[in-house]
Amino acid sequence: MMNKLKLIIHREFIAKVRNKSFIVMTFLSPLIMVGMGALIYFLMQKNDEKVKKIVFVDHSGLFSTEDFKDTKTIHYTDYTALGIEATKKKVEAGSYYGALFIPKQDSLELLAQSIEFYSKDSPGMSLMNSLENKISSKIRNEKLNNFGIDLAKIKASKIKTSIKMFDFSGEESSKLINELKIGFGFIAGYLLMMFVMIYGTSVMRSVIEEKTSRIIEIIVSSVKPFQLMMGKILGNAAAGLLQFFIWGVLIFAILTLASTIFGVDILEMQSAGISSEQMETIKDRAVGDKSMLIIQEILQLPILKMFVLFIFYFLGGFMLYSSLFAAIGAAVDNETDTQQFMLPIMLPLILGVYVGFATVINDPHGSIAVLFSHIPFTSPIVMLMRVPFGVSWYEIAISMASLLITFVCMVWLAAKIYRVGILMYGKKPTYKDLYRWLKYKS
């Protein structure tokens, strides 16, 4: 039995890796991914280079050019003397981006609600937020002056607070390490979902192709359907892991080469979408060498535990879902007929991602996160997101055991569908048919 299973795994693996599309996508995908990242970075840079000319008309008398200082991407011009109507016509006819009108009001409260902005096109949210912040700050300061409050003292009274975090064993933690934990969990969960969707459907298509070409009738004469199904699952899993490994190596090599040749700062590319105000905040919070700080925080993570559990849940989740995909492939004659069966399989996978994102980030040890990290159909994703935050081996053992037991049960059930469906032709199966096939005795 083991020899036949090995032959099937080897056959599926070789057939997959020798496929032209597999070879092309293995080496082309990293280039596309890096190229897309470079294109987005280039477009962001070009977008940031575009200067927006904005004019303002201030009838309140509160604002001046000092309040509207030019930035790298926004230039302000005072058109108060021209008046709002003439300004609107000039802006509409010229190359200006927009006109800001600040009317005269009896109170600051009314003024805050009566400011208007005119533009040819809908302005971006970042621009409007910037204008609102400038105006709000000026009006607030003016109101404080009216109350006789010294602004210099208020500014001097601001103190930045940084809360140090410890567990009860005395080990220090930080916000950065929590962000790294969240990042690892999200990446692990997303990779698993993509892996299952890509290679699970690949198993299904492989079964459909062999079934429609009638090759399966010859194959099942020498091996059991269960062996054939397991061989397909394991062979595709091995090919997928090889492809993921090659992608990782190539992406790392391309990024390193690009950084060396073109002088591209990868960290700068990643932060291209962050506003200048946000970047200043980040710089203010940074203490010491950021690279060394990140390395120190990463070394505090349970790296070995995370790696072992990542492999287990990665393969366990793929094997569980692939058995269901294989059963669907055996039940239908073409890929179009799979749509009615795909949704019930994909729902738990999608649910796991959304539950993980919604609960683990706020409370990784909450009841909802714990519950879904024990449910086999969602545990591969949710538990991977929880592991970096520290999960007891007792919980992990329960989750792993339930996943393994469910996998064995689902393979047994899927094999019963596979055994009957693999030789069924010309009939579109229903859920009632699948239930009847499950009740057939061997």
Q: Which domain holds residue 106?
A: 50-149
Structure confidence at residue 402 (pLDDT):
93
Q: Among 110, 131, 149, where does a domain finish?
A: 149
262 and 347 part of one domain: yes
Q: Does residue 3 lie in a domain region?
A: no
Residue 332 and residue 429 in contact, taking contact as beta carbons nearer than 8 Å: yes
Residue 95 near residue 71, CB atoms below 8 Å: no
> 108 and 256 in one domain?
no
End-to-end CA distance of the chain: 18
CATH number at residue 107: 3.40.190.10
Question: Which pLDDT score is estimated for 401?
Answer: 93
Residue-level pLDDT at 270: 45
Q: pLDDT value at position 267?
A: 47
Query: Does 303 lie in the same domain as 238?
Result: yes
Do 142 and 190 belong to one domain?
no
95 within some domain: yes
| Same domain membership, residue 127 and residue 202 | no
Whether 324 and 405 share a structural domain: yes
The answer to whether the CB of 97 falls within 8 A of the CB of 119 is yes
Do the beta carbons of residue 103 and residue 135 sit within 8 Å?
A: no
DSSP string for residues in 256-320: HHHHHHH---HHHHHTTTS-HHHHHHHHHH--S-HHHHHHHHHHTS-HHHHHHHHHHHHHHHHHH
pLDDT value of position 145: 87
- Whether residue 230 is found in the same domain as residue 116: no
Residues 89 and 191 in one domain: no
Are 407 and 365 in the same domain?
yes
- Is residue 138 within 8 A of residue 62, CB to CB? The reply is yes
- So what's the pLDDT on residue 272? 44
3-state DSSP assignment of residue 71: coil
User: Is 171 contained in some domain?
Assistant: no
**368 lies in some domain:** yes
Whether 298 and 391 share a structural domain: yes
Position 398 scores a pLDDT of 92
Q: What is the DSSP letter of 238?
A: H
Q: What is the mean pLDDT of the chain?
A: 79
Whether 22 is covered by a domain: the verdict is: no
How confident is the model at residue 273, as a pLDDT?
44
| Predicted local distance difference test score (pLDDT) of residue 399 | 92
Residue finishing a domain among 108, 129, 149: 149
Per-residue pLDDT at 280: 44
Identify the pLDDT of residue 371: 92
How many domains does the structure of the chain reveal? 2
Residues lower than pLDDT 50 in the chain:
266-289
| pLDDT of amino acid 117 | 92
Asked whether residue 263 falls in the same domain as residue 336, the answer is: yes
In a shared domain, residues 115 and 263: no
